[in-house]
Amino acid sequence: MFQINENYLKLKAGYLFPEIGRRVAAFSDAHPDAQIIKLGIGDVTEPLPAAVVAGMHAAVDELASRDSFHGYGPEQGYAFLRDPIAEQDYQARGVNVSADEIFVSDGSKCDTGNILDILGANNSIAITDPVYPVYVDTNVMAGHTGEADDAGRYDKLVYLPVTADNNFVAELPTSPVDIIYLCYPNNPTGTVATKETLQKWVDYAREHGSLIMFDAAYEAFVSDPSLPRSIYEVDGARECAIEFRSFSKNIGFTGVRCAFTVVPKDLKATASCGTEVSLHQLWNRRQSTKFNGASYVVQKGAAAAYTPEGRAQMKSLIDFYMTNAKLLREGLEAVGITVYGGEHAPYVWLQTPDGMGSWDFFDRLLDKGHLVGTPGSGFGAAGEGYFRLSAFNSRENVETAIERFKSVVS
């Protein structure tokens, strides 16, 4: 009889979004005329930039002719995409990342999970609380945790609370950890890290021989030029950090699928036999064996985002969402709600009024305002008492939502 990976049995049954769906469906059934506005799931709403669409059209036409056809491409991605990433996203900002340290893929979600293939099974792992659930669940699946307790906290994971009390900056762990997941600008809290904060983590990692997994999926939303967009803007990060970036949020590729991961050549580990091993080489080996590259058409589309027109269109797309975020922030503050985030990230993280529980607030918002958001407790126990609103929506929906919010809260 074959066996299964029983680590999957430890997973808390994908609770958050199914539970939201269940409550929304029940409300809709009871109130079929209610016009529900969803500010919940972090998916983009606006169409692709025109330059990106043109890039993909041209790529499809190339594939339609024998002379310009492309079959399998490089597993690491085409130079026509890796080069402008290295030049524009890194070198132009004075950051030392070369094109051959960039691995193009079909998503950051899969990369953050797949990276565990090249890491050992006995690392102690730290995550912030609240957190993007993928970091947790992929480690559960890989057998790196024990069972979850009633609050949903897994044995063997180190949880670092981020709340208003610490200004959403996690304290350094009190017992040494080997792997640290950081996401800035942050999903779900919408908060951002300063260079000093990242430096503190990089210094910690170098002192303890730890690895930082830096998720920069929202870097394009950073609007203050003094804030870091990459962990490699911090001294020493090339020796201790892997960075994940995605085209999902900046050019609307959640359905198209393209991302990249940076594994610097300076990043070394020591095998149990004492040999020094390059993580870059391990990841290259992993990708060459288990991945056959992102689609040619999609990479051409992503590359078009690095042309001057593409840059300008990407910027206006981000500006559009960030204006939504600003309206949400201002609208909520006007009715006395305490809000965080939404300045360098497309998420607004609000404190529920009157100390309401996250799910109670969810029900009240749905019932009284026909609005759907995401309960903070769904991202971790320390998210209790908070609530996430996404700025990924039409302007009209955002404006209507703010009006309804006012009537619910006041």
Ligand X SMILES: *Cc1c(COP(=O)(O)O)cnc(C)c1O
Which residues make up the interface to ligand X (CB under 6 A)?
Answer: 42, 107-109, 132, 183, 187, 215, 217, 246, 248-249, 254, 259
Give the shortest CB-109-to-ligand X separation in angstroms: 3
Nearer residue to ligand X within complex by CB, 81 or 217: 217
Give the shortest CB-319-to-ligand X separation in angstroms: 19
Residue 233, CA atoms < 13 Å, CB-side half-sphere? 19
Give the shortest CB-346-to-ligand X separation in angstroms: 9
User: Two tokens at 244?
Assistant: 């994940």
Nearer residue to ligand X within complex by CB, 215 or 384: 215
Return the residue nearest ligand X (CB atom): 107
Residue 81 CA from chain centroid, whole number:
21
Nearer residue to ligand X within complex by CB, 138 or 194: 138
Calpha distance 289→341 (Å, rounded): 40
| Structural contact between residues 10 and 147, judged by C-beta atoms closer than 8 angstroms | yes
Nearer residue to ligand X within complex by CB, 214 or 359: 214
Give the shortest CB-136-to-ligand X separation in angstroms: 12
Calpha distance 60→229 (Å, rounded): 33
Which H or E run contains 408?
A: helix 395-409
Strands 211-215, 241-246: pairing is parallel
Q: 379 CB contacts (<8 Å, ≥6 apart)?
A: 16, 129, 130, 131, 132, 133, 188, 388
The number of residues in the chain equals: 410
φ and ψ of 264, to 5 deg? -65, 150
The Cα-based distances of 57 to 44, 52, 77, 300 in angstroms read: 21, 9, 19, 9
Calpha distance 287→281 (Å, rounded): 10
Give the shortest CB-293-to-ligand X separation in angstroms: 16
Give the other-Cβ count within 10 Å of 67's Cβ: 5
Give the shortest CB-203-to-ligand X separation in angstroms: 24
Nearer residue to ligand X within complex by CB, 369 or 375: 375
Nearer residue to ligand X within complex by CB, 129 or 215: 215
First to last CA, the chain: 61
Give the shortest CB-286-to-ligand X separation in angstroms: 17
Give the shortest CB-387-to-ligand X separation in angstroms: 17
Nearer residue to ligand X within complex by CB, 261 or 404: 261
Strands 374-375, 347-351: pairing is unpaired
Nearer residue to ligand X within complex by CB, 97 or 258: 258
